[in-house]
Structure 1
């Protein structure tokens, strides 16, 4: 059912992965909002195929350094929150820095926004895909619809560069 909300051809993520990430990000969104900081980690599979995450790392207001990759997981993606809402940031979109970091790490990525959106960055396709819209995950109590509100469910890397040329 969740995959039907995703545009385009088959994506790199699986339904169990999306459900797991929604659970993890739902749990850490409130902490991100309370601390006004991004939280991040990595998603992977154990030797038995179960999903798991690294320890959650607390970053700053607008960045989070992915922690060391744990040996016990076969890492498949990064994930992070976008902290609290600010009219000074286009925080309802993945940032160019988010995309570039995933590419550098060779990993797909999940991004939770203050509006409660969930994005997936498919590094093979060089595309960000909105898995679910506002309110899908917990929202920052101060969230207000942004001027730079995503009008599409999917953006290529080139489209993101055109939208945010100074980043």
Structure 2
């Protein structure tokens, strides 16, 4: 009797999910769009910060699924992080773990390194030195993927330093 109840509950859940999926497909098929900014603001009002990080991690994992982070995906992820009002540095750390720079179709220094156009040369230099120290410590990691990522990041930091600060 108990297994029959579980099977019925499972069938009811499946029916509800199928119905919700059909409604979602119909919504988009009719040309409707979602206002992601508005949705994020609603999430900020009702969800604790930890849940907002969970939602952002899910979005990062979806972007990771095809192995390449397109420019449009990275722009949307950056917007989502801003709209969900999460810490920029923590978002960058999540990006580095889930979507390493090697997956990026184009490298965005703001997303990858946290360098913004409004930073002074001195602030940029100090920030890049901090990033260099962090990634340089990972070059000797026992995990070869982390070593490769660290090497790539050190090269990117050097390129960014040349571009934003000039040759030493």
Same fold (TM over 0.5): no
Larger radius of gyration: 2
- If each structure's strand is expressed as a fraction of its own residues, which one has the higher value? 1
TM value normalised by structure 1: 0.31
Higher share in helix? 2
Q: Calculate the TM-score normalised by the size of structure 2.
A: 0.30
Q: Which has the higher contact order (CA 8 A, sep 6+)?
A: 1
